[in-house]
A = this chain, B = another copy of it.
Amino acid sequence: MTEASDTPTRAEQRRQQILNAAAECFRRYGFHGASIAKISKEAGMSAGHIYHFFENKEAIIAAIVEQRVEQSIDLVTSFESETDVFGAMVERVDLGFEDCTDPAYTGLWLEVLAESARNPQIAEIVQNADRKMRQRITRLEGMARRSRGLETRLDPEAVTEIIMALFGGLANRAVQNPDLNKTEVLKVLRIAAKAILEA
A169 contacts the other chain (CB 8 A): yes
Cβ contacts A123-161/B at 8 Å (1 or 0 each): 100110011001000000000000000000011011101
A47 contacts the other chain (CB 8 A): no
Residues of B within 8 A of A49 (CB): none
Residues of B within 8 A of A107 (CB): 114, 117-118
Contact across chains for A192 and B195 when beta carbons are under 8 A apart: yes
Segment touching B, from A15-23, A73-81, A182-190:
A182-190
Segment touching B, from A1-9, A26-34, A56-64:
A26-34
A99 contacts the other chain (CB 8 A): no
Contact across chains for B164 and A166 when beta carbons are under 8 A apart: no
Q: 8 Å CB contacts to B: which residues of A87-111? A: 106-107, 110-111
4 nearest CB pairs, A to B: A169-B169, A107-B117, A195-B195, A165-B169
Q: Which residues of A contact B (CB under 8 A)?
A: 27-33, 106-107, 110-111, 113-118, 123, 126-127, 130-131, 134, 154-155, 157-159, 161-162, 164-170, 172-173, 175-178, 180-181, 184-185, 187-189, 191-192, 194-196, 199
